A = this chain, B = another copy of it.
Amino acid sequence: MAKDIPSRSEDYSLWYNELVKKADLAEHSEVRGCMVIKPYGYSIWEKMQQALDKMFKDTGHSNAYFPLFVPKSLFEAEEQNAEGFAKECAIVTHYRLKADPNKKGKLMVDPDARLEEELVVRPTSEAIIWSTYKKWIQSYRDLPILINQWANVVRWEMRTRLFLRTAEFLWQEGHTAHANADEAIKETELILNVYADFAEGFMAMPVVKGRKSEGERFPGAVDTYCIEAMMQDGKALQAGTSHFLGQNFAKAFNVQFTSKEGKLEDVWGTSWGVSTRLMGALIMAHSDDDGLILPPKLAPIHVVVVPIFRSEEELKKITEKVDELSSALRKQGYAVKFDNRDTQKPGFKFAEWELKGVPVRLAIGPRDLENGTVEVARRDTKEKQVMKLDEVATRIPKLLDDIQANIYTKALKFRDEHVTKVDTYDELKRVLDDKGGFVAAHWDGTVETEAAIKEETKATIRCIPLDAKEEAGKCIYSGKPSSRRVLFARAY
């Protein structure tokens, strides 16, 4: 067990918080609810950004940038959206500070610098973007518009947790405009698949693709698709959402186009986003009591090399070998760290790099040099093996692929073991309390039933899985007929 971090079974929540801090990923800032993302944490986020950005571009999207601020009159234009975010908005009301006449060296808000119209710090950018699209769209020839933005957003959350729920967070938000519903729905689904491919292929985190119930839908959307992941404590985590907006924002902002047939029509829209919340998901999906376990595809360091030496002379000889080996791995695109500090013992270094989740650790001492070998430890299973030095450059890439696959398989097994079918409300409650995970149950499709179950059990409908089988049944709560099971869970 890593120093100063409780085990998951002791206190999962504290384990998470301490791990995020001890592994140098993020910490709380002096600003209520806002975090500082530290260099090691940020470098993982950069890897996520790069992978996602490429996927967006490969599917025809471009990046752009829209203002941080949304004038109140635009913010309130789409009423459902405005209502959904009004309670958690940071509002700019003034544009100047001045010297405080009563406190030497202190400043105060200048009452003469009040804005005529208040500005909302964007909690999401539909309003500012659709008010811009209005200027860009006249004809069907201007469509589709396929734009993504990497940005910070602010939602004034009362209870915050590093990465999972912070007042300011980083994200990408896609906003697309289309000439018909079909194309917009295809876009919504395309992005859902991009998100799922990213979660499974890069984060090694299996997800369920589905639709949100009406009660959990994005404010202003006609339909919200999502990917839902399962954490090790049996709670679900929404990892990404893709919204079919219908013509709601086009109507609110009066965005119309002349169709091929010469008719004036409202534009169809989608929006979709993933955020630094994925960092929380990545940590909670895989890590253990010794620290992070990072999938190689998102690890900032793939291989750490720890020299075992007693003298400068020994270190020098080891360094020569390590330089060769590192260079051979770097040429193949792997990031290698040689931890040659003389201020720390090997055992300390082992623990530190385990804490930080580096997938592969090599240890090499004088005896290894004699034998032409190196000790190879994998982070995920803790297995060690002795490898010939001249095989390292060819076998490590294969090992990293194995680790990526193994982390996914392990998470998938856990997830599959944590999907439980129930047919009664009592069973639902029992499974939620005793086992957690997703609970597949029949539901009558009403907001009222969902709200009542949430009130009593703290579980929500995470999604109506896209691959849910048609199956006649009865709602576990109301007894009314249902045609497919939905997934309930307690969630982050």
Q: CB-CB contacts of A2-38 with B at 8 A, as 1s and 0s?
A: 0000000000000000000000000101110011111
Q: CB-CB contacts of A45-65 with B at 8 A, as 1s and 0s?
A: 110000000000000001111
Q: CB-CB contacts of A65-97 with B at 8 A, as 1s and 0s?
A: 111111110111001001000111111111111
Shortest A173–chain B CB gap in Å is 14
Chain B residues positioned under 8 Å from A74 (CB to CB): 30
Known contacts A29-B132, A76-B107; is-contact A89 B96 (Cβ 8 Å): yes
A350 within 8 A of B: no
A86 to B108, CA, bound (A): 9
Known contacts A31-B128, A87-B96, A95-B89; is-contact A82 B65 (Cβ 8 Å): no
A154 within 8 A of B: yes
A275 to B106, CA, bound (A): 29
- Contact among B42, B62, B64, B86 with A65 in the assembled complex (CB-CB below 8 Å): B42
A43 within 8 A of B: yes
Within 8 A of B (CB), among A86-136: 86-99, 105-107, 109, 118-121, 128, 131-132, 135
A479 within 8 A of B: no
- Contact among B86, B131, B152, B343 with A96 in the assembled complex (CB-CB below 8 Å): B86
Known contacts A82-B107, A88-B96, A93-B94; is-contact A131 B68 (Cβ 8 Å): no
A45 to B64, CA, bound (A): 10
Measured as residues with beta carbon below 8 angstroms from the partner, the interface class of chain A is: 35 or more
A39 within 8 A of B: yes
Shortest A139–chain B CB gap in Å is 11
A268 within 8 A of B: no
Chain B residues positioned under 8 Å from A128 (CB to CB): 29-31
Q: Are B91 and A64 touching (Cβ within 8 A)? A: no
Tell me the number of copies of this protein: 2
Closest residue of chain B to A147, judged by CB? B39
A156 within 8 A of B: yes
Closest residue of chain B to A98, judged by CB? B86
A422 within 8 A of B: no
Known contacts A29-B66, A31-B128, A64-B42; is-contact A91 B97 (Cβ 8 Å): yes
Q: Are B92 and A97 touching (Cβ within 8 A)? A: no
Known contacts A31-B119, A76-B105, A128-B30; is-contact A64 B88 (Cβ 8 Å): no
Shortest A52–chain B CB gap in Å is 14
- Contact among B34, B36, B71, B93 with A93 in the assembled complex (CB-CB below 8 Å): B93
**Residues of chain A at the chain B interface (Cβ within 8 Å):** 27, 29-31, 34-39, 42-43, 45-46, 62-72, 74-76, 79, 82, 86-99, 105-107, 109, 118-121, 128, 131-132, 135, 141, 147, 151-152, 154, 156, 168, 170, 343
Return 17 A-B CB contacts under 8 Å, by A number: A29-B67, A30-B67, A30-B71, A30-B128, A31-B119, A34-B68, A34-B69, A39-B63, A39-B147, A45-B65, A68-B168, A69-B90, A69-B168, A88-B95, A90-B92, A91-B94, A109-B118
